[in-house]
Structure 1
């Protein structure tokens, strides 16, 4: 089993789209013609983030959606450095947290961005890929 996609319902579609495309590095792609505005954002040819306009009326019987956070894994030091550069260029604040090694699992570095109230985006990489020369904004 693998994660298929995450859906984020937001009243500020353009800010969320800007973050995921210009900072996180996803690409905007094809989306079915739903009756509510939104975007499908792609990574490696797959739509992994669905953004939906929160101003649309809720469907009867459905609870309001909520996301704690979504995590993206970056597999190389180059990807990590490119992300840090995009965050810096966008003047996007973030927090770092280190995940200690546990058994065969290598130590990792997590980077958290608060995209909107109640929506946090995490990026994670092996600690060996993270160069500490970039300080937190």
Structure 2
């Protein structure tokens, strides 16, 4: 099993798109012609994030936004440093945290960005990638 995608329903569609493209480094790509506005944002050729405009009526029992957080893993120190550079260049606030080691898994570095009320994006990498 592997992560397929996360869908974020937001009333601020353009700000969410800019964050995921300009900060997270995803690219805007093809999206089926749904009747509601939105974007599909890609990483490594796969649509990872689906953004949907929250101006559409909510389905029964569903609220918008409908996600707590998603986590995107950076696999190298270069990716991590590039992310930090983009966060700083765009003046995006974040909270740093660490996941302690567990068994054979090494400690992890985390950054949390509040994208919108109720929506948080976590970036995570091996702790040694986050060392200066």
TM-score (structure 2 length as normaliser)? 0.96
Give the number of aligned pairs.
131
1:5-16 equivalent positions in 2, closer than 5 A: 5-16=5-16
Distance in structure 2 (CA, Å) of the matches to 1:49 and 1:78? 22
| RMSD of aligned residue pairs (Cα, Å) | 1.0
Structure 2: runs of 5+ lacking an equivalent: none
Deviations 1:13-37 (A, max 9, x none): 1000000000000000000000000
2:127 aligned residue: 127
SS of alignment partner, residue 34 of structure 1: coil
Which aligned segments of 4 or more residues in structure 1 are displaced greater than 4 angstroms?
none
Q: CA deviation at 1:62?
A: 4.8
1:63 aligned residue: 62
2:88 aligned residue: 88
1:1-137 equivalent positions in 2, closer than 5 A: 1-59=1-59, 61-65=60-64, 66-132=66-132
Structure 1: runs of 5+ lacking an equivalent: 133-137
Deviations 1:70-101 (A, max 9, x none): 00000000000000000001100000101111
SS of alignment partner, residue 7 of structure 2: strand
TM-score (structure 1 length as normaliser)? 0.92
